[in-house]
Chain A
Amino acid sequence: MNATFKISSKVNLFFTEVGDVTFFAIRFFKQVFTRPFETKEFLRQCYLMGNRSLLLVGVTGFILGLVFTLQSRPTLMEFGAQSWMPSMISISIVREIGPVITALICAGRIGSGIGAELGSMRVTEQIDAMEVSGTNPFKYLVVTRILATTLMLPLLIIFGDAIALVGSAIVENLKGAVSFQLYFNQVFEALAFSDIIPATVKSFFFGFAIGLIGCYKGYNCNKGTVGVGEASNAAVVYTSMLLFVIDFIAVFVSDIFFEI
């Protein structure tokens, strides 16, 4: 009986949380198109989330390309199919690995940062103070951050993909004596619009999810300083889970429209 109660309360809590997030998202969409636009804060967030994450995403993407190619080479060589390496690596990175890995990195860096920042602002009553001073804290803090993550993540993913392909090309050049020109010729030979467009579209959803969950957890933080840590942690965990759910839906929808 106790277990049933626990499960039902967990289920109840889950749906309540989903409902809260949905209302939070609706509130975002309501306010994103209404004046005043917090452009300066939006641009600052874009800089912090985009430029400041570029190094991390770039290094990760480069190593990802190197390692992925090095690990795949022996298997493909067993089948005498090493010439398929550029095609395989490019499709894997552009379609799936690049967006998901970059989004997970950003969920760790940006999502947790937003959760902690907004959580601490909530705990220290800075958000309440903003409301009192006549500033719309939701518009200033939440809308700008969600919008920034939504727009910056696709760019970060594009950079991450490009740098990963460069890393892969370096390995192919050193190990397989494949020139960079030949490598990228084969990459663009293999890629199609049906690879890039769905990946780019889903990266907007990834960015939106990172911003939304991070802001939701931080904006609704309570329980003092402990709550800040919880908000930061929950932002990363829920965002990571949500990213995979979105990825699954995106692949499913892409398959319907593009027959991938």
Chain B
Amino acid sequence: MRNSAPEKFKLGLFVVLGTALLVAALYFIGNRQNLFTKNITIYTHFRNVNGLQTGNNVRYSGINIGTVAKTVLLSDTLIRVEMRVGEKLKNVIKKNAVATIGSDGLVGSMIVNIIPAQGTAGFISSHDTIQSYSKIGVNDMLTTLNVTNENAALLTSDLLKITSNINEGKGTLGMLITDTVLASQFKQTLFELRKTSEGASQAMSSLNEMIASVNFSESLAGVLLSDTASGVKMKSIVANLEKSSEKMIQVTDHLNHLLSEIEEGKGTLHYLTQDTTLVQNIDSTMQNIKSGTARFNENMEALKHNFLLRGYFKKLEKEQRKALKKADQN
């Protein structure tokens, strides 16, 4: 039974394609693990590698740069992690870079993250050891969570007691919740408070309108609010007013004292204001003086006509006339 040429070609194609697929798959997988590129080996040390395995990825700032080549237990507290990274990264990773172990996602496999550090340092070379930083692991987190859970249980228990007391109306909070009278009072208070706040709001708006209507540049209010010289004057005026009011108080006190004395019948003014007999005496005295003055005028007129004193009075008339003339001339 002979094979035809097309059959042979098809078989050859089938075999070549199948083999090529296998080789390509192996190449891509190997390439991911840096098997076909030049690599350098760097080391770091951890106390706990949290399940890191050979072949796990090594990332630098989030980019896959290599794989974990080996993990070696050096002592009871020290594990050396050997990492194989691309040779090209010799000019990227610095000696002060820090390696940490993390997880690829929440449930992913473990990875080594190399984080660039600040500051200046030389670039790494093969077989260098970089420093490491151990982040909190899942077990540590679970331990912390356990403590938190216990605390939460205690808190819940206390909270349950508090809520049962509240439900029973015990304590201030219970009274606040269960007392209906207090609730109505509280409602009334809130209502009043609301009214007050509305009034305050209205007052504030009125005040705002008033302030807005004030001409600050030319009005008295503007001067009062903005002119510092006027402010100083106002201060002195207020101070003077204070002094004046103090003196006014003193005067008022004296007047009160005087009035009380007058009312009590002490002093001359009491007689002047309160004694009616004195008033009558003064009145009759004044009438006597009036009549006396009229008689005195009559006597003086009689003296003018007396020959002994007539010359004197004529002399006085002449002097008066002279003085009048001088005044007219001036």
CA of A46 to CA of B18, assembled, Å? 13
CB pair A193–B11 under 8 Å, yes or no, is no
CB within 8 A of B7: which of A44, A162, A192, A193?
A: A44
Bitwise interface map of A from 131 to 163 toward B, beta carbon under 8 Å scored 1, else 0: 000000000000000000000001110110010
With A47-B11, A50-B15, A159-B18: A40-B29 Cβ-Cβ less than 8 Å: no
CB pair B18–A193 under 8 Å, yes or no, is no
CB pair A188–B1 under 8 Å, yes or no, is no
| A41: nearest chain-B partner, CB-CB | B1
CB pair A43–B11 under 8 Å, yes or no, is yes
The verdict on A54 contacting chain B, using a C-beta distance below 8 Å, is yes
| B107: nearest chain-A partner, CB-CB | A81
The verdict on B326 contacting chain A, using a C-beta distance below 8 Å, is no
CB pair B18–A155 under 8 Å, yes or no, is yes
CB pair A40–B1 under 8 Å, yes or no, is yes
CB pair B2–A46 under 8 Å, yes or no, is no
CA of A12 to CA of B139, assembled, Å? 56
CB within 8 A of B22: which of A43, A158, A189?
A: A158
CB within 8 A of A40: which of B3, B14, B22, B26?
A: B3
| Interface set, chain B 6-38, CB cutoff 8 A to A | 7-8, 10-11, 14-15, 17-19, 21-22, 25-26, 28-30, 32-33
CA of A196 to CA of B32, assembled, Å? 14
CB pair B29–A192 under 8 Å, yes or no, is yes
CB pair A196–B29 under 8 Å, yes or no, is yes
CB pair B2–A51 under 8 Å, yes or no, is no
CA of A192 to CA of B28, assembled, Å? 10
CB pair A47–B3 under 8 Å, yes or no, is yes
CA of A41 to CA of B32, assembled, Å? 41
CB within 8 A of B25: which of A41, A46, A154, A196?
A: A196
The verdict on A225 contacting chain B, using a C-beta distance below 8 Å, is no
Chain A contact residue count (CB 8 A cutoff): 23
CA of A81 to CA of B107, assembled, Å? 9
CA of A40 to CA of B5, assembled, Å? 12
CB within 8 A of A191: which of B1, B29, B64, B107?
A: B29
| A156: nearest chain-B partner, CB-CB | B18
The verdict on A200 contacting chain B, using a C-beta distance below 8 Å, is yes
**A contact residues around B107 at 8 Å (CB):** 81
**A contact residues around B311 at 8 Å (CB):** none
CB pair A155–B19 under 8 Å, yes or no, is yes
**B contact residues around A47 at 8 Å (CB):** 3, 7-8, 10-11, 14
CB pair A189–B32 under 8 Å, yes or no, is yes
With A40-B3, A193-B26, A196-B26: A51-B14 Cβ-Cβ less than 8 Å: yes
- Shortest Cβ distance from A190 into chain B, in angstroms? 10
CB within 8 A of B55: which of A46, A155, A192?
A: A192
A-B contact pairs, 7 of them (CB 8 A): A43-B8, A46-B15, A155-B14, A158-B25, A159-B21, A196-B25, A196-B26
- Known contacts A43-B3, A46-B11, A188-B29; 10 further A-B pairs (Cβ under 8 A): A40-B1, A44-B7, A51-B14, A154-B22, A155-B19, A188-B28, A193-B33, A196-B22, A196-B29, A200-B22
